[in-house]
Amino acid sequence: MTEGMSLRERKKLQTRHRLLAAATELFAERGFDKVSVAEIAEAAEVSKMTVFNYFAGKEDLVLAPMEEHVGDVARTVRDRAPGESALAAVRGQYVAAVERREPSIGMSDLPVVLGVRRLIQETPALLTRAHAFSMRSFDLLAEVLVEEGEEPAIARVAGAQLIGTRNALIHANHLRLLAGESADAIAADAVALAERGFGLLAGGMGDFAVRR
Amino acid sequence: MTEGMSLRERKKLQTRHRLLAAATELFAERGFDKVSVAEIAEAAEVSKMTVFNYFAGKEDLVLAPMEEHVGDVARTVRDRAPGESALAAVRGQYVAAVERREPSIGMSDLPVVLGVRRLIQETPALLTRAHAFSMRSFDLLAEVLVEEGEEPAIARVAGAQLIGTRNALIHANHLRLLAGESADAIAADAVALAERGFGLLAGGMGDFAVRR
DNA sequence: CATGAAAATATATCGAGTCAAGAATTAATC
DNA sequence: GATTAATTCTTGACTCGATATATTTTCATG
């Protein structure tokens, strides 16, 4: 597992994991705001400075795993099959992720993952940072569309619609998970909702929410 | 102008304006991050704590005027005419705002407004806070749709699409303004772009960005 | 081993935001 | 109209996250 790694690199990974573990535990016990970085450093047996050496900010101790997925949508669109629309690619990736119960789209009901989600929802600072990730995700997607030759302005509009739709779908999953439902129970509805949600984009929402 | 106000209320307004004026000037001179709250307090002849009493955070010294518009979209949809779709209402409000050159959608080329916009674009903390406003705007819109009887999950998806589209359009205006174009020059294109952007929603974007 | 580079730490500092207590203003009671 | 009670403003001291600098430790490499 650690072959090919120098001792230094292994130790770096170890301290990184010690920090993540210590932080996760402390946050779960007392909440994000009630734990200071100094305490985390002490629990992981490093100095406070080292924490910031490994993580850009306190929030990243919770959101680091999430950051790896900021490029998922853009990559999916970039690598889509010829003849496939951006919309179809994003929808397809989301549905596939639902089937695979991927935590990145809010489909894991493992207690530890659930705890982290609850922590995020309860902590404004974490929500804000999470939303910044979504913003980066959008930027990357728009960039791909522009590279393909779409007009920048319209590319950003379409990108906002796609990312916004996807985020809303993910948020719906989060709500149900936090309400105690199982991932399997949510999955079926999630796919149906995705068809409806992306369907608004595909079929037009001119008839949606017409005032009676 | 100040009749009906107690001395206390008048002084409150005065210090608020002193704070906004001092902050705006200092930020314009040296940038958001290079000015401390203590300096602003000193310039406004008030203690540091008073600043936070008037404004929730340092960022609000710049973004306070923007906060008044978080409910614009939701209100427009709530008050739309019978027979009109949510999409038509949002599009109509945006186009009308373009015609009126409203700063809230990025259509003012007054130097002072432009300076504030530049400051926001250059400062990550301000961008983040601005995005939080957009989030609130989205929540309010979704709430309206839910009150009208739409399913919460699909209401949030549609709301994300509408708000996302609108934000992307506004951002396009910002970019051109910051590039030096006049509001009048932008307005015509802005309306056309809005028709295309909202058209993606109305007509469906199933044919958009099909890979060749 | 010795040496140079990378990383961890100690220390000091800054700046944003919070807390408990004190000062000022308004309202109420006599 | 003076005195007191209640509310609101203001303040100085403090916590905590984050940064800068310099110093020491740790590891890879010849």
Instruction: Confirm or reject contact between B156 and chain A (CB < 8 A).
Output: yes
Residue A23 has pLDDT above 70, yes or no: yes
Q: Give me the CA A44–C1' D26 separation in Å, rounded.
A: 18
pLDDT-based confidence at residue B1 (cuts at 50, 70, 90): very low
A38 CA to C2 C1' in angstroms comes to 37
Instruction: State how far the Cα of B109 lies from the Cα of A185, in Å rounded to an integer.
Output: 52
String of b and e for A103-117 (b: at least 16 CB within 10 Å)? bebbbbbeeebbebb
Average of per-residue pLDDT across A158-180: 96
Is the per-residue pLDDT at B3 higher than 50?
A: no
In whole angstroms, D12 C1' to A25 CA is 36
d(CA B160, CA B67) in angstroms, rounded, equals 19
Q: Which of A167, A193, A204 faces B154 most closely, judged by CB atoms? A: A193
Instruction: Report whether pLDDT(B88) > 50.
Output: yes
| Secondary-structure percent of chain B, ordered helix, strand, coil, rounded to 5 | 75, 0, 25
Contact A206 B201 (CB under 8 A): yes
Name residues 75-114 of chain B with a Cβ under 7 Å from nucleic strand C.
none
- Kindly report the number of other CB atoms within 10 A of residue A152's CB atom: 13
**CA–CA distance, B99 with A162 (Å, rounded to integer):** 28
CB atoms within 10 A of CB B147: 10
Res B4: pLDDT: 46
Nearest to A156 among B77, B82, B168 (CB): B168
pLDDT digits over A86-117, tens only? 999 999 999 999 999 999 999 999 999 999 99
Percent of chain B with pLDDT over 90: 80
B210 contacts A80 by C-beta, under 8 angstroms:
no
Find the CB nearest B161 among A88, A135, A164: A164
Distance CA A146, CA A140 (A): 10
Query: Length of chain A in residues, anyone?
Result: 212
| Top-confidence residue, A4 or A33 | A33
pTM value?
A: 0.90
- Taking the Cβ of residue B56 and every Cβ of chain A, the question of whether any pair is shorter than 8 Å is answered with no
Reduced to 3 states, what is the DSSP secondary structure of residue A210?
A: strand
Average pLDDT over residues A34-49: 92
pLDDT average, residue stretch A120-136:
94
Phi and psi, residue B100, nearest 5°: -85, 0
Q: Residue A96 pairs with which residues in a beta bridge?
A: none
The full DSSP string for A32-61 is GGGS-HHHHHHHTTS-HHHHHHHSSSTTHH
- Residue B118: strand, helix, or coil: helix
Nearest to A129 by CA among B165, B8, B63, B129: B129
A83 touches chain B (CB under 8 A): yes
Indicate the pLDDT class of residue B208, thresholds 50, 70 and 90.
Answer: low
* Predicted confidence (pLDDT) at residue A7 exceeds the cutoff of 70: no
Indicate yes or no: CB of A209 within 8 angstroms of CB of B145: yes
Q: Are A176 and A93 in contact (CB under 8 A)?
A: no
Distance separating alpha carbons of residues B195 and B95, to the nearest angstrom: 9
Nearest to B46 by CA among B6, B12, B9, B5: B12
- Residues A200, B85: C-beta atoms closer than 8 Å: no
Q: Which residues contact B182 (CB under 8 A, 6 or more apart)?
A: B109
Q: Could you check: is the Cβ of residue A16 within 7 Å of any atom of nucleic acid strand C?
A: no
Whether B134 and chain A come into contact, CB under 8 Å, resolves to no
Q: What angle do CA A34, A39, A42 make, to 5 degrees?
A: 165
Does the pLDDT at position B159 exceed 80? yes
Render pLDDT for B111-138 as a digit per residue (tens, 0 to 9): 999 999 999 999 999 999 999 999 999 9
User: Contact, B64 vs B156, CB < 8 A?
Assistant: no
Chain-chain contact of A211 with B171 (C-beta, under 8 angstroms): no
User: Could you tell me which residues are beta bridge partners of residue B85?
Assistant: A210
Instruction: Single out the residue of B212, B209, B121, B125 nearest to residue B173, CA to CA.
Output: B121
